[in-house]
A and B are shown apart, each in its own frame.
Chain A
Amino acid sequence: MNRRSFSTCFLLILYLISLHHHLLSASQFEGFDASEDDDVSDDSSDLHHSLPPPTITQSLPDPQPSSHDSTSDQSHPEPPQYSDPSSTTPFDFWDEDEFEGLPVEEIEAIDSPPTPENATETVDPETPQDTTAPSEKKKKSYAIEIGCVCFLIALGINYIVGKRENESLALAWAAKFASKDTIFHKNFSLLGVGDGVESPLLLKEALNVFKFYASGRRYCHGLLATMELKSRHDLISRVFNLVVPCKDEITVEVYMNEEAMDHVVFAMAKKKAAKTMQKEVKDLQRFAGIVSPPAGRKWVSEELNVISESKEVAGDLITDTVLDQVFGDKAMEKYGKNFMSMHISDQHPGKHRKMMLFKFSLPDAKHMDDIVRLVALIPYYIDLVGRYRLSSQARNKTETGRQKAAEEAYKELQNARQEALQKKKAERKKLMEEAEAKLSAEVIRKKEVKERARQVKKAMPKIKMSRGH
């Protein structure tokens, strides 16, 4: 009895050891942890037969178990099951050459001929087959690529369309104001950016920047109109412009002759723009201030603010003609919608001191007539400012102001020069000190010896030597 119980106990221990060894060998497969294997049932018959026969196919290198699986793994540590159609094994990687530990019936199952086509497969009704998974996975994996390629195509199409739109807008402006028998043609003898007769009217500086040049007119050197259009060719900018809207703008710079223009600093703009101009533009900041509307006289629309050096200049430059045509209350609603600002100054910072600057927003190509009156202001103001002369009283005022400004500028220049000199001196000193520091100790010692010798020589009494005859 005792012996029998011992033998059964021994057999049981052997069985447990063999089972444990088998489980350890199973944990060597990738995708399994030894910790997971501890809970596998002790029934050895289940161990082999519960595994379905593996098909000899290469499994996907990076199978991604769903989040649902990963959460269930934590609560029930079981070997993970993949819905990978290519591999029916529960292993992450199946090696075709690895047949160790396979039961005989499984090898036979692999070697057995495939079932005929007409044979119906026995499908377990409880486990529905996941047929949609591979197509979904493919769609998911190529979503980024499809999206990016589509976006690149959209960029290309938008580039072509936007470029064409901008060009047509610029050409519409040129056709309206710079072609034969138009306003610029009647006012300037040279139109276009080239030297020759057949040179282009517009210069394309960028896909959204076009320039037009005109010259050969009294009172001015020339005129340069710069059209800064929306970046229609750029899809990202176009989307950004939907959020933060901006307008197509045209800036007209008129370079006045030195002798033609008197001391004039004057600007007019919409109220917000006028305030920023007065703060930011140097000459307006220094010489001009916002002018209050005069009593008993027609004045500009309430939307606008006038900045001027003196009331006299403002009154002389805002004529009744201008008020009736553009800047009056009634005319502003109809014709002045696209007006942004104008700036006339003889103290312009830059190469050309005497300059007039007009800024308008551009309508679309079909509505170019909307800015006809605004463009007509340009030659009107060239003549008006060219002929304009200040009264002696106002002139004295402006001259003193300009003298002060010139003195300040000169002082600033002097200060800058002095600062530059001081910097140079400091740098030289630094260099000298560095050079001295670099000298070796021996050289310094030699210098000191020489210096001492010189000092001793100086200290010695001077003895006159006389030759004895």
Chain B
Amino acid sequence: MSHSHGNTPSANDPRQPSAAKPYTPRPIAPEDLPVDYSGFIAVILGVSGVMFRYKICSWLALIFCAQSLANMRNLETDLKQISMAMMFAIMGLVTNYLGPNRPATKK
């Protein structure tokens, strides 16, 4: 709750309602935001999971996606990376589990 006191300040009272200025948030440039390492790692793991057919990579990509989503600060800038990472992770899991099996290695 925001409190505004209309009472007139006495000699002892440090409050000055006339000097009150509402809060204006400082605009933060996307470059100034902390780097989203987990999102970046998720993308790399997701891509490697799809390309090299490693289940563990796809699972780890999904985990790092969840972490990145939890630490998301700027919806616009972070969501692109997270959605891409999520797409790769899910694609990797789908291809690994529902796709054709790897060819058997002959002895």
Contacts and interface: CB of A to CB of B under 8 A. Distances in A.
A236 interface: yes
Contacts of A449: none
A392 B25 CA distance: 39
Contact of A189 (B1, B15, B70, B106): B15
Nearest to A62: B104
B3 A191 contact: yes
Contact of A151 (B19, B63, B101): B63
Contact of A193 (B23, B38, B60): B23
A92 B104 CA distance: 10
A187 B14 contact: yes
Interface stretch (A132-140, A200-208, A264-272, A440-448): A200-208
Contact of A379 (B5, B14, B67, B70): B14
Interface in B64-85: 66-67, 70-71, 73
Contacts of A237: 71
B59 A207 contact: no
A291 B37 CA distance: 41
A235 B62 CA distance: 14
Nearest to A235: B67
B64 to A, nearest CB: 9
B10 interface: no
A216 interface: yes
Given A191-B3, A215-B19, A379-B14, A62 B101 contact: yes
B70 A199 contact: no
B4 A189 contact: yes
Interface in A163-204: 180, 185-201, 203
A205 B28 CA distance: 11
Contacts of A309: none
Nearest to A192: B2
Given A216-B15, A234-B70, A152 B2 contact: no
Contact of B5 (A31, A144, A189): A189
Contacts of A231: 71
A23 B50 CA distance: 43
A194 B2 contact: yes
B3 A190 contact: yes
Given A191-B3, A192-B3, A216-B16, A221 B63 contact: no
Contacts of B20: 188-190, 215-216
Contact of B15 (A80, A156, A188, A224): A188
Contacts, number: 129
Nearest to A386: B14
Interface residues of B, number: 33
A207 B2 contact: no
B99 interface: no
Interface residues of A, number: 56
Contacts of A263: none
A148 B63 contact: yes
B39 to A, nearest CB: 13
B99 to A, nearest CB: 13
Contacts of B104: 61-62, 92-93
A213 B23 contact: yes
A255 to B, nearest CB: 10
B56 to A, nearest CB: 6
Contacts of A151: 63
Contact of B70 (A93, A145, A159, A205): A159
A16 B25 CA distance: 94
Contacts of B5: 189, 216
Contacts of B17: 189-190, 216
B53 interface: no
A195 B1 CA distance: 11
Given A190-B4, A190-B22, A218-B19, A155 B70 contact: yes
A197 B2 contact: yes
Contact of B14 (A197, A200, A217): A217
Max count, chain B CB within 10 A of own CB: residue among A61, A191, A216, A218: A216
A203 B24 CA distance: 12
Contacts of A218: 14-16, 19
A425 B55 CA distance: 56
Contacts of B19: 189, 215-218, 221
Max count, chain A CB within 10 A of own CB: residue among B55, B70, B106: B70
Contact of A196 (B2, B16, B55, B107): B2
A173 to B, nearest CB: 15
8 contacts: A62-B104, A148-B60, A187-B14, A188-B15, A188-B20, A198-B1, A215-B23, A236-B38
Interface of B: 1-5, 14-23, 25, 38, 55-56, 59-60, 62-63, 66-67, 70-71, 73, 101-102, 104, 106-107
Given A192-B1, A195-B2, 10 more contacts: A31-B106, A148-B63, A152-B62, A189-B19, A192-B3, A197-B1, A198-B2, A216-B15, A216-B21, A217-B15
The 5 closest A-B pairs by CB, nearest first: A216-B20, A192-B2, A148-B59, A190-B20, A199-B2
Interface of A: 30-33, 61-62, 80, 92-93, 144-145, 148, 151-152, 155-156, 159, 180, 185-201, 203, 205-207, 213, 215-218, 221-222, 224, 231, 233-237, 379, 382-383
